Amino acid sequence: MESLRLSLIQTNLIWEDKQSNLKNFEEKISTIQEPTNIVVLPEMFSTGFSMQPEKLAESMDGETVEWMKEIALKKNIILTGSVIIKEDDQFFNRLLWVLPNGQVGQYNKRHCFSLAGEDQHYAPGSKRAIATVGGWRINLQICYDLRFPVWARQQLQQDEEGVYPEYDVLMYVANWPASRSHAWKTLLTARAIENQSYVIGVNRIGADGNGTEHAGDSMAIDPLGEVLYRADDKDEVHTVCLQKESLDKVRERFPFWSDADSFFISE
């Protein structure tokens, strides 16, 4: 695939109301008429950023996961966003990567947001997750992970053809507050420049059940840090098209990635 099309859905989330949120997202997904490969939803899209997993968590065969499978099959898309999941008596803020054939990939949020007490309710993940779509490699991350550049840092890969960067797209789904929107926009741009990759950030709008306001600012950024798209503070469904040729040209002209330090992330 020389191009990758992603549809970003930015909207308000109804606090701890799965049925209303799933209905809202289904309606918004149905409005996407142009071809798209991936539809991206925000963090905890079915509930909002709640610290009540005991009440809201689902299993991997629960209602929201089944809904994602149905939508992915019906629309012939990859559907992704994070959900509250219970597994082995632990709760996870888990990004799900749902394929049209029903297969489900996953990434558990590594950095739990201690300022809101997330670390008291959810277990942190220990492994990065890089999905592949038609030759594109996508590093999947969640909200607060954005503040920790080592977790997102390109690591070099090598095969018989030589050395190459680990991924092409860095994706964040979020419930990032409006009071720190400058940090959101700045850090997304920094991650694109330092990793020489496209960056996608999908955030929500509106106030949550704790009165925290969210301003959206969902973004797509190219490998040079140029903003391809930024949403205003409103409901918005937008499809961006990323070009592999443009990415390759940047990396060939400015092969900064080849000078990067090697490192190892321990659990």
Whether residue 266 is contained in a domain is answered as: no
Whether residue 8 is contained in a domain is answered as: yes
Q: Which of 28, 109, 112, 118 is catalytic?
A: 109
Whether residue 130 is contained in a domain is answered as: yes
Based on the residue annotation, tell me whether 28 is a catalytic residue of this protein.
no
Q: What is the pLDDT of residue 161?
A: 78
Domain that holds residue 58: 3-259
Do strands 78-87 and 38-40 pair parallel, antiparallel, or not at all (unpaired)? Answer: parallel
Based on the residue annotation, tell me whether 18 is a catalytic residue of this protein.
no
Based on the residue annotation, tell me whether 43 is a catalytic residue of this protein.
yes
Query: Which CATH number characterizes residue 105's domain?
Result: 3.60.110.10
Strand ranges in the chain using DSSP code E only, listed in sequence order: 3-10, 38-40, 78-87, 90-98, 104-108, 130-133, 136-142, 156-159, 162-165, 169-173, 198-202, 205-207, 213-215, 219-221, 227-230, 236-243
Whether residue 241 is contained in a domain is answered as: yes
Q: Which of 43, 58, 69, 112 is catalytic?
A: 43
* 41-76 pLDDT, tens digit each: 999 999 999 999 999 999 999 999 999 999 999 999
Buried b (16+ CB within 10 A) or exposed e, 145-165: bbeeeeebbbbeeeeeeeeeb
Q: What is the pLDDT of residue 266?
A: 72
Q: What is the pLDDT of residue 205?
A: 98
- Please state, in angstroms and rounded to a whole number, the distance separating the CA atoms of residues 129 and 155: 13
Q: pLDDT-based confidence at 245, cuts 50/70/90?
A: very high
Question: Within a 10 A sphere around the Cβ of 243, how many other Cβ atoms?
Answer: 13
Whether residue 41 is contained in a domain is answered as: yes
